[in-house]
Amino acid sequence: MHIPDGILPAQVCAAGYAITGLATWYSLRQINRKPDPMAEIPKASLLTAAFFVASSIYIPIPPASVHLILNGLLGVVLGYFSFPAILIGLFFQALVIGHGGLTTLGVNAAMMGIPAWAAYHLFQAHRYLGRKLPEPTRIALFAFLGGTLGLGLSVLIFLTLVILHLPAEVDARAEQAAVVAFSLGHVLVMVVEGLFTAMLVLFLHRAKPELLES
């Protein structure tokens, strides 16, 4: 779901870099407010590498199989480190396999990273909301919502950008059909991504709860 080079005009690419610059600055400011930010760097870095590797795992969603985006999960686990982590992951992908692109790095980072923040804040809400529910249920529910929202917002931004920059001659009816088909396909992936995030977060909560204390 990365936007490759050559699709978007230079102005949009530049705006993407500006938004990513601002978001990175804000993330780093929040990170620097932590008691010992340097101690968190190895953890965030190795988890960035682990997420990058894990995104290569294919999940069977018949009739095909998809690889998950995991930006919601990244937000839930890494908090404010998620934006730099996504930026680095996309930089690696653009360099190693030409997935995404260097001119669209800013746009792609904003498209994946800002929803990761949203997922982080939504997941953190489990500390205050739904306190009547048992803790594991609450954690699973908010992790599911975080995972779904992370991907859902990214799909929405992706669709907006692609529709705005499609060639003007595209038949409106065909465009509408393509958008509906893409959205419906991704609703299923969003649910799977939410379930996957909930299962994984529940497991981390049982086995290594400090990983969720971002």
* Six token digits for residue 153: 């917002």
**Minimum CB distance to another protein, residue 49 (Å):** 4
> Token digits for 125?
């809400």
> What is the per-residue DSSP string for 49-77?
HHHHHHTT-EEEETTEEEE---HHHHHHH
Q: Please tell me whether residue 200 binds another protein under the rule CB under 8 A.
A: yes
Q: Is 213 in the site for another protein (CB under 8 A)?
A: no
Per CB under 8 A, 203 contacts another protein: yes
Residues 101 and 15: their CA atoms lie apart, in Å, by: 15
Dihedral sign, Cα of residue 124, residue 129, residue 135, residue 138: negative
List the one residue out of 55, 35, 69 whose CA is nearest residue 189. 69
Tell me which residue has tokens 């190693």: 96
Residues 103-162 within binding reach of another protein (CB under 8 A): 103
Pick 49 or 156: Cβ nearer another protein: 49
Task: Please report the sign of the dihedral spanned by the C-alpha atoms of residue 22, residue 194, residue 151, residue 100.
Answer: positive
Q: How far is the CB of 124 from another protein (least distance, A)?
A: 19
Q: Tell the smallest beta-carbon distance from residue 205 to another protein (Å).
A: 10
Confirm or reject binding of residue 35 to another protein (CB under 8 A). Answer: no
Residues 73-92 that bind another protein (CB under 8 A): 77, 81, 84-85, 87-89, 91-92
Q: Residues touching another protein: how many (CB under 8 A)?
A: 76
Among 120, 123, 158, 196, binds another protein (CB under 8 A): 196
Is residue 184 a contact point for another protein (CB under 8 A)? no
Identify the residue among 15, 19, 28, 133 touching another protein (CB under 8 A). Answer: 28
